[in-house]
Amino acid sequence: MNRFKFFEGDLSSDKQVAEAPQNDFTVQKTSSLNEQNVFKENEARYRSEQLVVIKIDGIIESHIETKLEYHVKKIISNGQLLVQVELKDQINTIQPQYLQESLKLMSMIDVIKSNALVLIDNHSGKIKSIVNIDEIKANWLAFKKDVYANTSFIKSPEMKANIDTFISNAEAQMTEESILQDFKVRPFFDLFFDRYLVSEQLSYNDYSKLYYSQLFDHLPVEFDVKQMITEESPVLLQVNKAASLNANNIHLADFERVYDLRYKPRIGYKFSNYSYNHNTWVSYRFDENLLDEATMTIVEEVKNNIELIVDYKVRRVEL
């Protein structure tokens, strides 16, 4: 598919993603918010930079640089806590360059999924459901129609089959359950949606958490997190979170199966030790009830064979 330019112009054009209605949503009325809840109606703009590098047998196979700009608006409606997320801008580059067209298509799908109105949990601050899931599905159908319209000239059976496979794989992602799962592995959604949104009473105890492997079909990886407060004031909190693989991870046999099918034919070497490290530094503003900035690094590897490195930064910018 990388031979063809299916779309031209800005990713947020009406042709690609239907314009989101202004606060056009309906939620079920519930009881008033708990008095301890600190959720505030306000809005913010963020810019993030992410570098993803994949090494095979010690040699860089690919790297992707992504810059994103989000606008978030926090809303209280009928006792419900809502956040409108809009992906306003997106810059992507990839090496090797022949993958750029495929990356462009995947990025356009990310725009569709990321423009979401979400309901958050009153206690955890995590995303509970997607209020505008029907709008997201409608935008996907419009995008799919455009893909077929812009590739109708293709005669090659192999290329047509590739397009059908791409559409089929993407369509499987357009369910609420799948999108919620996708949000869990996106650093911005993972960092922004947290307990600080709803409470100043945060836990600083060690805990366990699931990560969904980017090397092994999003299989869950349990890791243990140790937290340390690095700075604290009445309005600001900075926390460092250092994570490592839980030794009792039950999916290692599944990782080896995927490795044997996908990577071993190319690398040759058998599955060795799997390791995972995840470090996060995050800063919250309690006076505004907002994420201020954060950094995240992830290193996932099968020792000496394949390695995934993620370097992520996000900061708040002026509206």
Per-residue pLDDT band at 247 (split at 50, 70, 90): confident
Residue 36 has a pLDDT of 66
pTM (2 decimals)? 0.83
Residue type, 204: Y
Instruction: Extract the runs of DSSP E, i.e. beta strands, from 196-273.
Output: 207-212, 220-232, 236-245
Tell me which H or E stretch contains 1. none
CATH of 43-317, one of 2.60.40, 2.40.50, 2.30.230, 1.10.3470: 2.30.230
Counting residues of the chain whose pLDDT is more than 90, the rounded percentage is 65
Helix axis angle, 100-114 to 133-150, nearest 10°: 150
φ/ψ of residue 77, rounded to 5: -140, 120
Q: How far apart are CA 314 and CA 299, in angstroms?
A: 18
User: How many whole angstroms separate alpha carbon 242 and alpha carbon 206?
Assistant: 10
With contact defined as beta carbons under 8 Å apart, do 277 and 241 qualify?
no
Q: What is the pLDDT of residues 249-306, one digit of tens each?
A: 778 889 999 999 999 999 999 999 999 999 999 999 999 999 999 999 999 999 999 9
pLDDT of residue 24: 40
Residue 182 has pLDDT above 60, yes or no: yes
pLDDT of residue 90: 96
pLDDT tens digit sequence for 32-66: 445 467 899 999 999 999 999 999 999 999 999 99
Interhelix angle for 176-184 vs 133-150, to 10°?
90
pLDDT band with cut points at 50, 70 and 90 for residue 31: very low
